[in-house]
Amino acid sequence: MAETVHIPGLVLTEHEFAVPLDHARPDGERITVFAREVAAPDGRDRPFLVYLQGGPGQEAPRPSGSPVAPGWLGRALRDYRVLMLDQRGTGRSTPVGLLPGRTPQEQADYLKHFRADSIVRDAEFVRAALGVDTWSVLGQSFGGFCTLNYLSTAPESLREAYFTGGLPPVGLHPDEVYRATYATVLERNRRFYLRYPGDRDRVRALHERLDAGEVVLPNGSTLTGRLFRQVGSMLGMSDGAERLHYLLERDPASPAFAHDVAASLPFNARNPLYAVIHEASYADGHATHWSAARVRPAEYEDDVTLFSGEHVYPWTLSDDRGLAPLAEAADLLAEHEWPRLYDAGRLRACEVPCAAAIYTEDAYVDRALSEGTARLLPRLRPWLTSEYEHDGLRVSGGHVLDRLIALARGHA
């Protein structure tokens, strides 16, 4: 039974759905998928816009009330009711934790069902349950990967599709993806130290302390240098350089430093799916074999001051006590031959109006690879912009979404 509450400026309706863990086995194990419907309080009937969050492994935003809904949500509510899907394994959907009591193979077999293709099957289940003929989709980052899968598998269910920093490559091996993103992250490192030249010595001194095992995280993990370098993932966001600088100015011996590092590590036990499924989200018909670790540039071996980006490694899990129970399962998933996520032929024939914000120096989803995918879709209008970083949807107010709506409808 759906439950509706009214908060200032918004009407929220909560839905729960029991969906198959494996949609190929509809009579098998079931999990819960949660969705929150967000509507303007004026009572007007508007079509649905499904918001697919970044990740994998991150729940949808939690809207707060105000006289006028802020940011992109406020812009969306002028034209739509927004359905915020807690993708399977996140938020109020059946959570994925450390899967205790299962062997590594059983953990891996369970985790195989949390990629974009399964999320899209969930969305189709929800659409049918709500009695909706067609709806529109907004995919942010990994949500764009889900959106492209949607266009490959069920385009007849979509009225419009919007991508923000999340138009993935089609048919490429993850090695090609990571070679491209490493190049961008190395450039982000160069710019960071150009802005904050004193931080290079701070990082060198910090690594000496880390090599001596002097920093322990709140979960009891000894912070290793290779784990610490992953905080560089924040350099892809609009405020990332400043956040990293302010982290480095803290005394490494202080509790604040340990807590802030733990909060800054992109892969952690709060969202274990992000660590174990991240590379697989790029596996369009391939095994990854720990791609990011294999193609890591030689510069990282020679210079400890270089930060990595959104790159997950085997030691990401083994060095973190919170993720270590899934390390063997992650190794098995790295050897798994993943099925295709996208159908290039269907995408070339797709008639759904689409628009995509492609950020020129996106450190997470490579610009050139996104442009290649954009050329596959005959009705996609790309917007190439250097005005925003990967978090443009969140930080732009309603500007990014407004631009995409206008493009998809031929008004810009």
Q: How is residue 217 annotated by DSSP?
A: -
Catalytic site residue from 93, 157, 390, 391: 390
Catalytic site residue from 122, 284, 362, 366: 362
Catalytic site residue from 93, 141, 281, 308: 141
Distances from the Cα of 407 to the Cα of 131, 151, 193, angstroms: 28, 18, 38
Specify the 3-state DSSP secondary structure of 356: strand
Query: 161: which residues sit within 8 A by CB, 6+ positions away?
Result: 136, 137, 139, 147, 150, 151, 352, 353, 354, 355, 408
Sheet holding 380-385, edge to edge: 3-7, 10-20, 30-39, 81-86, 48-52, 135-140, 158-164, 354-359, 380-385
Residues in the chain: 412
Q: How far apart are CA 1 and CA 87, in angstroms?
A: 20
Q: How far apart are CA 167 and CA 163, in angstroms?
A: 6
- Is 399 catalytic? The answer is no
Query: 397: which residues sit within 8 A by CB, 6+ positions away?
Result: 70, 71, 72, 75
Q: How far apart are CA 253 and CA 58, in angstroms?
A: 31
- Is 390 catalytic? The answer is yes
Q: How far apart are CA 282 and CA 166, in angstroms?
A: 12
- Is 141 catalytic? The answer is yes
Q: Which residues are catalytic?
A: 141, 362, 390
